[in-house]
Amino acid sequence: MGKQDEAVSRSQRGRTDKALGHRLKRLRNEAMKPADARGDGGKGGRPTAVALDLGWGRLLFAQTFADNEQIVEAMHQEGPARRDIAFYIRDPHVLLSLAPQELFLDPSHTYRLDLSTYRTGRRQARGYFIRRLASQADAEAVNAIYHSRGMVPVRPDFFWTNRDSRAVVYLVAEDVATGDVIGTVTGVDHHRVFDDPENGSSLWCLAVDPQCPHAGVGEMLVRQLAEHFKARGRSFMDLSVMHDNEQAIALYEKLGFHRIPVFAVKRKNPINEKLFTHPPAAYDQLNPYARIIVDEAHRRGVAVDITDADAGFFRLSFGGRSIHCRESLSELTSAVAMSICDDKAVTRRIVEKAGLKVPEQLDAASGRKEIEAFLKKHGSVVVKPARGEQGSGVAVGLETVEDVENAVAAAKKVCDRVLLESFFEGEDLRLVVIDYRLVAAAVRRSARVVGDGRSTIKKLIENQSRRRAASTGGESRIPIDDETRRCVAGAGHTLDSVPAEGKEVVVRKTANLHTGGSIHDVTEEVHPALVDAACTAARAIDIPVVGIDFMVQSPSRPEYVFIEANERPGLANHEPQPTAERFVDLLFPRTGLKSAKQALGARE
C-alpha cells in the first residue's frame, strides 16, 4: 500500500470511528431511558430497546433491540450492585463475540408453561395464603428472604412505589398463624411492557424463606402467578433456572413447564462472579459456613487454598499475610481462648468473674441426692455435656429425676463429664461478636411442625427435616431420638398423633440450628445492655470471633442469663448482617471498603 492509500485508509478509519462514536452515544442515551420509554417505536408503534427496571437490575427484552450492538451497549450501562439480564437472546455466540471480556452466557435453562393448556392444581394452601404485596413491611420481608437466598436486594421503597404496576405483579405468601411473609414471586406481563406480539409473560425471583414450616409454598406461588396471567389472556409464562437446580427443575416439570431454546446474558460483575469463574478445587464440598467466607475473600481478591473441604478448612492469603481457618475459627483465636470455650464450666467461671449473670450449675457426678435437691430448688433444669457443640447431648426443661438421669446417660455419649444448670425460661439469643464489636444478633427458636389435619407428627418431622436440610446444604435436620420423643410426649402427643390443621407442635426444646431450629434476626432491636454483656464476655475470654449465647425474656429487654460461648459461630446463619465482611476485615483490614476509600483519597 502506498502513502496516499495509507492516508485515505486512515481518513476512512477516522470517519468510521467518528460515526461509530456518534452511534454509541445515541445508543447509550436510548439505553438509559426509563423502563417504560417507547423509543422510536417498531412496527405498529411497539416500543423498542425495552429495559424494565425490577429493582435488583434491569430485564432487557432482546427481541425489542435493533441489533446485538445495541444490547451490548445497554448492558454496559448496568448500575453498581445490580444484576442486569438480557433475556430472549437467540444467537448468544454472536452477541458474546462483541464483548467477550464484559459479558458471559448465563448457565441457566429457560422453561415455558403453555397457559392455554394449563390446568389448576387440586392442592390447597394450608397454614398460609397467597396475596399481592400490600405494605412497606411486606417489601422489607421480601428483601429479607432475598438476602437469605443470596439474591440481589431491592430498595423497599422500589417495591412500594411499583405495587400498583400493571406490568409487574408481586405476590407474597403469608403465614396464617404468625402473619409473617414466608415466600415471594415476581411476574412480568410482556404485553403490558412492550405490546409483545407473542402475548407472553415471565416469572422471576421465586423465593421461599429457608425456615418456612409449610410444604408446597413455592409450588403455590408459581400456580397463583400462572393463574393470574392465564386470566389476563396471556399465552405462556417463561422462567430462567440454574442448570444444576435439580429441585426447582423437578417442580417446574411437574407443573408442566418444558425447555425452550432461549438464552440469557449477564455482565461479569462481582455479584455474578461465581457464575463465570471456576471456583477453587473442592469448593462444592464446603459447607455454607466455610463457603460464605470463601466467597467474600474471592470478592476482595484474597487468595483461597482449600486444605480440607469436608472439615471446612481453608487458607486465605493477601499481601504477604496468610491465615489458616476452619470456618469462622482462625489462627487469630488462641488455643487458650478455644479451650475456655470448649469447657462450659470454665467458660461460666471466666464470664462470671467479668460480671456476667450466669445460671447455677451442678456436676452430674455429684450424686442422686444432690441432683434431687438441685431439681427441687429450681423446678426445671438443663443437662448438657461439659464439652461438645451443635447441641449434641443437650436436654432442656427436665422436671423429674428420671428424665435427668436418662438425659445424663445420653449426654455421656458426647462427653464423660456432664453438667446440670438451672433452667431459665425465655428465648435463646445468639450474639456474634467480631473484633469485640457486635455484628449480628438473632433469636434461635426450637424445631416445630405445623399440623395439616392428615399427617402424623413423625411424617411432619420428616417433611420439615427434608426442607431444612435442602435449604441449609444438609446442615440442619430434626433428629427423631429420645429427646424428640420426650418433647412430643410432654406436649401430650406421640409420634403417631395427627395434629389438627394449623396446630403448632414443638418437637425439640433446644434451639440449635443443627437439630432443626430456626433463626430470626433481631440485630436492630437488641438491647444495649445485652450488647455490652456479650462484648464483655468476648474480652474476658480474649477471643476475636465468638458467638455468645444468652437466654433472655426478650431481645429488647436487658434481662439475661449467660449460657455459653461458641468459638466457631456459623456466620452464614446471620444474613443479611455483614458477618463474613467483618470477619475478612479482621483478617485482612487492607482489603475492606474503608481502606479502599482511604487509598483512593475518598472521604467517609
Q: Give which of 103, 112, 27, 99 is closest to 265, Cα–Cα.
A: 103
pLDDT, one tens digit per residue, over 18-67 is: 444 444 444 444 433 334 433 445 445 678 899 999 999 999 999 999 99
Scan for cell 469463574, then name that residue.
277
75-89, 155-169, 346-360, 378-392, range with the lowest pLDDT: 378-392
CA distance 103 to 456: 51
Instruction: Tell me: do 325 and 338 sit in the same domain.
Output: no
Alpha helices in 76-210 (DSSP H): 92-98, 136-148, 156-161, 190-194
In tens, the pLDDT along 16-30 reads 444 444 444 444 444
Q: Give the pLDDT of residue 61.
A: 97
CA distance 57 to 21: 26
Query: 510 is written with which cell numbers?
Result: 433446644
Q: Would you say residue 37 lies in a domain?
A: no
Q: State mean pLDDT over 440-446.
A: 90
| DSSP-derived secondary structure letter, 516 | T
Same domain assignment for residues 298 and 221: no
Provide the pLDDT confidence category of residue 168 given band limits of 50, 70 and 90. very high
pLDDT mean across residues, the chain:
86
Q: Which domain holds residue 163?
A: 111-261
Q: How far apart are CA 382 and CA 418, in angstroms?
A: 11
User: Which residue type, as a one-letter code, is found at position 72?
Assistant: V
- Which residue, 488, 508, 528, sits at the end of a domain? 508
Mean pLDDT of 392-411: 84
Domain membership of residue 87 (yes or no) is no
* Count of the separate structural domains present in the chain: 5
Of 479, 508, 537, the last residue of a domain is: 508
Q: Classify residue 442: in a domain, yes or no.
A: yes
The pLDDT, as a whole number, for residue 474 is 73
Distance CA 367, CA 370 (A): 5
How far apart are the C-alpha atoms of 147 and 153, rounded to whole Å?
A: 6
pLDDT at 466: 84
pLDDT of 147 reads 85
User: Is the same domain home to 169 and 215?
Assistant: yes
Same domain, 504 and 514: no
Give residue-wise pLDDT tens across range 226-253: 999 999 999 999 999 999 999 899 999 9
Residues 528 and 464 in one domain: no
Check whether residue 347 and residue 301 sit in a common domain. no
Q: Based on the fold, state whether residues 555 and 459 are members of the same structural domain.
A: no
Q: Is 268 inside a domain boundary?
A: no
Considering only residues 434 and 35, tell me which one the structure prediction assigns the higher pLDDT. 434
Q: How far apart are CA 163 and CA 180, in angstroms?
A: 19
Q: Are residues 467 and 542 in the same domain?
A: no
pTM: 0.71
Q: Are residues 224 and 149 in the same domain?
A: yes
**Which residue matches cell numbers 425490577?**
54
Q: Is residue 301 part of a domain?
A: yes
**Whether 351 and 323 share a structural domain:** no
Both 22 and 142 in a single domain? no
pLDDT for res 5: 43
Domain membership flag for residue 564? yes
Region for 207 from its dihedrals, namely left if φ exceeds 0, alpha if ψ lies in -120 to 50, beta otherwise = beta
- Name, in order, each residue with C-beta under 8 angstroms of 55's C-beta and a sequence gap of 6 or more: 154, 155, 158, 159, 162
pLDDT-based confidence at 309, cuts 50/70/90?
Answer: very high
Single out the residue in 261, 290, 319 at which a domain terminates: 261
Residue 381 is assigned to a structural domain of this protein: no
Question: Do 312 and 439 fall within a single domain?
Answer: no
**Closest to 361 measured CA to CA, from 380, 372, 345:** 345
Query: Residue 236 falls within a domain, yes or no?
Result: yes
